[in-house]
Structure 1
Amino acid sequence: MAEPDMLDDEDYPAYTMGRAAEIIGCSPDFLRRLGDAKLIEPCRSDGGHRRYSRYQLRLAARARELADGGTDLAAACRIIILEDQLEEALRQNGQLENR
Structure 2
Amino acid sequence: MAAYFVHQLLTWIKGFEQTSRVVQRSEDTPLYSIAVAADLAGLPQATLRLYERKGLIRPARTDGGTRRYSEDDLARIRQVAALQGDGVNLAGIGMVLNLQGENEVLRREIADAAADGESSRRE
What is the TM-score normalised by the length of structure 1? 0.83
The root-mean-square deviation of aligned C-alpha atoms, in Å, is 2.1
Q: Measure how far apart 1:46 and its partner are.
A: 3.3
Bigger radius of gyration among the two: 2
- Separation in structure 1 between the aligned mates of residue 31 and residue 21 of structure 2, nearest angstrom: 10
CA shift for structure 1 position 3:
7.9
Q: Determine the structure 2 residue equivalent to 1:63.
A: 80
Moved over 3 A (4+): 1-5
- Structure ranking higher on relative contact order (CA contacts 8 Å, 6+ apart): 1
Aligned residues: percent identity?
Answer: 29
- The question of whether the paired residues in 2 share the 8 Å contact of 1:43 and 1:50 is answered with yes
Tell me what 1:4 maps to.
23
Aligned residues: 97
The amino acid of 2:63's aligned partner reads D
Partner of 1:27: 44
Pair 91,70 (structure 1): closer, same or farther in 2 beyond 3 Å: same
From 86, 89, 94, the counterpart of 1:72: 89
Q: Which runs of 5+ in 2 are unaligned?
A: 1-19, 117-123
Please state whether the residue corresponding to 2:64 is helix, strand or coil: coil
Of residues 6, 31, 40 in structure 1, which corresponds to 2:57? 40
The code of the aligned residue for 1:4 comes to V
Cα distance in structure 1, aligned partners of 2:77 and 2:32: 13
